[in-house]
Amino acid sequence: EVQLVESGGGLVQPGGSLRLTCTASGFTFRSYEMNWVRQAPGKGLEWVSYINNSGGTMTHYAESVRGRFTTSRDNAKNSLYLQMNSLRAEDTAVYYCARVSDYGDCPVLDYWGQGILVAVSS
């Protein structure tokens, strides 16, 4: 069974840092691209970042987090990370990790974690 479990969330002050971890099981983690998606309280889904499979040498970011957030992966530990620096109140959200699969050449987010809350407040 495919499982994605996020951890590392919590309350942080503005300007602070936090690292989220997504631990994968039930599939060959190194073979899949991964995304982070977030959802502010009462708001819609916002795509945050992408990392390619294998060595994780390619990453892409939403403009809202570029330069502050870094996505990485450790395939030996079946883990995906989101390092968040210079956090702002508007980064408050539930953060989801999601697996990317190619369904007939169309990338889809076919499995999602349960989400983890990050709250940025003084």
Partner 1 sequence: DIQMTQSPSSLSASVGDRVTITCRAGQTIRTYLNWYQQKPGKAPKLLIYDASSLQSGVPSRFSGGGSGTDFTLTISSLQPEDFATYYCQQSHSTPYTFGQGTKLEIK
Residue 96 found at the interface with partner 1 (CB under 8 A): yes
The interface mask with partner 1, positions 10-39, x = CB under 8 A, is -------------------------x-x--
Size of the site for partner 1 (CB under 8 A): 24
Q: Pick the closer one to partner 1 by CB: 62 or 119.
A: 62
In this chain, which of 30, 68, 112, 117 binds partner 1, going by CB under 8 A? 112
3-state secondary structure 6-26: EECCEEECCCCCEEEEEEEEC
Angle at 47 between CA 63 and CA 121, to 5 degrees: 75
- Give 37's strand partners: 47, 96
Q: Pick the closer one to partner 1 by CB: 1 or 63.
A: 63
In this chain, which of 32, 61, 69, 95 binds partner 1, going by CB under 8 A? 61
Residues that bind partner 1 (CB under 8 A): 35, 37, 44-47, 50, 60-63, 96, 103-110, 112-115
